[in-house]
Amino acid sequence: MGWIFLIVYIVGWHIGLYGMFKKAGIEPWKALIPVYNTWLMVEKMGLKKFWFWLQFIPIAGQFITIWLTIIFVMHFGRFGLLEHTLTVFVPFIYLPYLGFSKTERYAGKDVFKNYKKSTAREWVDAATFAIVAATIIRTFTFEAYVIPSPSMEKTLLVNDFLFVNKIAYGPRIPQTPISFPFVHNLMPNSQIPSYLKWIQLPYKRIPGYVDVKRNDVVVFNFPLGDTVINLPGFGSEIPYYTVLNSAPYNGNRDQFMAGEYGDKLLVHPMDKADNYIKRCVAVGGDKVEIKNNTLYINDKPNDEPTGIQFRCKVVINKSLDYGAIRENAGIDFRWDQQGYQGQGIEDDATATAILQNVPQFDIFLTPDDVTRLKTVSGVVSVVPITDAFSLNDSLPRPAGNIEIFPNTKENTWTIHNFGPITIPAKGATVDLNASNIAIYRRLITVYEGHTLEEKNGAYIIDGQPTAKYTFKYNYYWMMGDNRMNSQDSRFWGFVPETHIVGKASFIWFSYEGGPRWSRIFKSIK
């Protein structure tokens, strides 16, 4: 339902521009070309070209597009609050009215400039209205999001711009309502928080029309993002809790971290933790297990997306031609001087020369890539790596991996052999014991807000001895489609329903050295 509304919103906006362009003396078919149409609007209105480019700023670009549309409507002589409200919330109705009504006409720049308010005042009014309207839209309906990392390749690529549908699962009431518009948790190009903690509201979600389902692509707040080391290179890239778990134990690790990082520790409210995007592979009540790189849900192999990637070891001989890989296998990658996947060398001859001196290399491949690559002359074998202990590590390590959930020294799970583990469901009850308390400790104390003590082998929750716990929320298990290059639930565990932001709907723009036209308006599966 939500995505249908979004499609109607966008299609109606373009149809309205078609008629408005015709009245404004612009070839109307150009209104149907995404992005280019706003360039023509900027030209027609005589605005500085940088307004067009500002649309590509993640999140804030939504405001710029809305603002440009309002200014274009004002060039039709429509200056009232009602007209601007209709432009923002029902453009699929109001813009076609302006474009095709016989009583409406394009008034031009002179009418815009000669309106009784000064041009500067009119721009400020329009900008203020657009900020408020865009904030409401991105908080409760849809929000633009840009893919920052390759963890979801090849389903989602770096610099895919997509819409996140917040209506689907139900929009959350903001926990921190006082914050800088269009900025998530830090001010641009700084480590300064963009919000105030003076007012914090309890978790509340307006009901949506669907529940989170298996294999949905979901945006959520990073579960370990409540405390971060507020320094470049840390944040959610190297989580505070990862550093904490690996800190030398000298009686009190929290004290050690405070002494080591001091005022650089930042505590985020739940809704201001960094946004992540992954695929939900399991919901409350499901049993998850990974055996030799194969994901099992409820003891059955998971129905994986077609673009899922795994890290593979490719063994070659000197007869291999890089051009054959590109042409016959349809795989085109770059090579660094060590022969691994990277950037820098583009021509086939140089790449071939490098390959002939590299007997084997690691690369991320889809199952279809593996099948095609095996047919290329010179490729001896293509074998998925299933013995890695952690990301980018092809060698097994001894037991005691604190990187992998539940992050204990006794842990023997790896990213390729993990579990089994059952995902908590709202209302379900579990027995607490020494073998599972590490799995549920953060859930009980952080996500559900209770105190937990352990005394003489007994568990005390909120001051009451108990051997059982009943879950307050539903939980989910999130994993990247690029499994060998993804920080996901294998590292930080469950994602509570409180952290769910919305459902990834479709890609509205994609860029890599230029527009990737084949990905524009592509649905996300």
Domains of the chain: 2-140 (no CATH), 149-170+193-226+268-283+475-523 (2.10.109.10), 290-422 (no CATH), 429-470 (no CATH)
Assign 3-state DSSP to the chain and report helix, strand, coil percentages, each to 5.
Answer: 35, 20, 45
Q: At what angle do helices 119-140 and 81-89 cross, to 10 degrees?
A: 40
Task: List, for the chain, all residue ranges whose pLDDT scores fall below the cut of 50.
Answer: 1-2, 334-344, 394-399
At residue 391, the pLDDT reads 60
pLDDT tens by residue, 212-246: 999 999 999 999 988 888 887 787 778 888 888 77
At residue 342, the pLDDT reads 42
Q: At what angle do helices 91-100 and 2-24 cross, to 10 degrees?
A: 20
Pair 501, 221: CB distance under 8 Å: yes
Pair 366, 154: CB distance under 8 Å: yes
Cis (ω within 30 of 0) for the bond into 248?
no
At residue 114, the pLDDT reads 77
At residue 335, the pLDDT reads 44
At residue 387, the pLDDT reads 65
Pair 339, 358: CB distance under 8 Å: yes
CA dist 148 and 170 (Å) reads 25
How far are the Cα atoms of 86, 319, 411 from residue 297, in angstroms, in the given order?
Answer: 47, 42, 21
What are residue 381's DSSP bridge partners?
A: 315
CA dist 236 and 496 (Å) reads 17
At residue 449, the pLDDT reads 92
At residue 336, the pLDDT reads 40
Closest CA to 417 of 386, 371, 391, 459: 386
CA dist 164 and 437 (Å) reads 35
Cis (ω within 30 of 0) for the bond into 154?
yes
Q: What is the CA radius of gyration of the chain?
A: 26
pLDDT tens by residue, 117-130: 666 666 677 777 67
Q: Is the pTM of this model over 0.85?
A: no
CA dist 324 and 331 (Å) reads 9
Calculate ∠ Cα 223-226-228, nearest 5°.
110
At residue 388, the pLDDT reads 61
Closest CA to 220 of 205, 232, 209: 205
